[in-house]
A and B are shown apart, each in its own frame.
Chain A
Amino acid sequence: MIRRIAEVLDAWVTQTNLEAQAEGMRRLPPCHIRVLGQMALLEAGSRLSLLATNDVDVYADYEYPIEVEFKRLLSLEGKELDPVGHEIWMPRETEYVHLFKGRFIRLSVADSDAVLISKAARAPDKNRSLLTEYLAGGASQRFLSLATKYKVDLERFL
């Protein structure tokens, strides 16, 4: 879903910039949208049992007109851009997997280990059952290393 939105958004920016160029106006610069939270897990095809609200958390360096169009496209899919999504803490080691690269829009999703560490560190109660399920399936060595580094108390999920 989010990849399709990025494609449509890229086409919109391309068209807008063509019109701006023809009118001698300033063009919108390229941007990078990085998807976080439950949406990142859903898009990564996680096998965990996920329940998500309809909000989408992102880090993005887009300009305001692109944000407005992105919000509009999300709303057509019944999604909302979380107004405070950019305040989410993510570990420095987060890797972003590319989903789409257009002329002006680059879209990637945070890797699952980093998303789960973020949830375990900052919202452990809200994500307790999700983390339990993940640990029951056998946590990756990377997750365990990050948990040690960021002092995540795994006891509370067991």
Chain B
Amino acid sequence: MTMDPTEIQARARRRLAMDRRARKEPRYLRVIGRYVSAGLLEANHPVAEHAEPITVEDVLYVGRLEPRVLELLPAALIKTPRMFVIPKALPADLKAVVNSLRQSKEPADFRGVKGAKLLSWLSRIGRKNKLPSRLKSFRLQAEEQRLLERVSQRLQLSETDVVRKALRELAAKELLADKK
């Protein structure tokens, strides 16, 4: 591949002119302004911050020019949903990614962004290190319910946290036992 540097520059300038026109579009300005305002992106040039919610459709459109907004979108939909006007039905590929992330599973690649990268943002935006939780229901007998309430009061933890703590301690004990 040998191209004349002057030709490269001339063609790049034409493409850059197109990019610059796209960057002046209101939806580009809204989306980038919202991401910067939310602290998800940082720029080395002036960006008019935008505080109002943005549409997912606009983000997907702007993502063709600035894929970083796509990289952050699925995790942001879960962790900072107020940033967006969320439609009743998300596009199928985005919905599948969001569903995977809600279960803390690595999703499929999304519009050129690796699944592992999409997952890595989940604990790094919004409330840090807080991952989505899922509802699981169990039936307890009255005596077990009373026991749970007593332990919860004694440890000053919520009943959910008591179950979490007990589960971790049991798992640690069992895993250690396996290693011995």
Contact = CB atoms under 8 A, between A and B. Distances in A.
Contacts of A78: 39
Contacts of B67: 125-126
Determine the interface band of chain B, counting residues with CB < 8 A from chain A: 20 to 34
Nearest to B69: A51
A113 B128 CA distance: 34
A51 B16 contact: no
Given A129-B65, A138-B9, A154-B1, A53 B44 contact: no
Interface in A132-157: 132-139, 141, 144, 148, 151, 153-155, 157
Contacts of B71: 53, 126
Interface string A104-128: 0000000000000000000001100
Given A133-B16, A157-B12, A51 B1 contact: no
Contacts of A52: 41-43, 68
A16 B71 CA distance: 38
A53 B72 CA distance: 9
A53 B66 contact: no
Interface string B59-95: 0000001111001100000000000000000000000
A54 interface: yes
A136 B41 contact: no
Contact of B8 (A51, A55, A84, A154): A154
14 contacts: A46-B44, A51-B68, A52-B43, A53-B40, A54-B39, A54-B40, A54-B41, A84-B116, A125-B67, A132-B12, A132-B15, A139-B5, A139-B9, A154-B3
| Across the A-B interface, the 3 shortest Cβ-Cβ residue pairs | A135-B12, A136-B12, A158-B11
Interface of B: 1-3, 5, 8-9, 11-13, 15-16, 19, 32, 39-45, 65-68, 71-72, 112-113, 116, 120, 124, 128
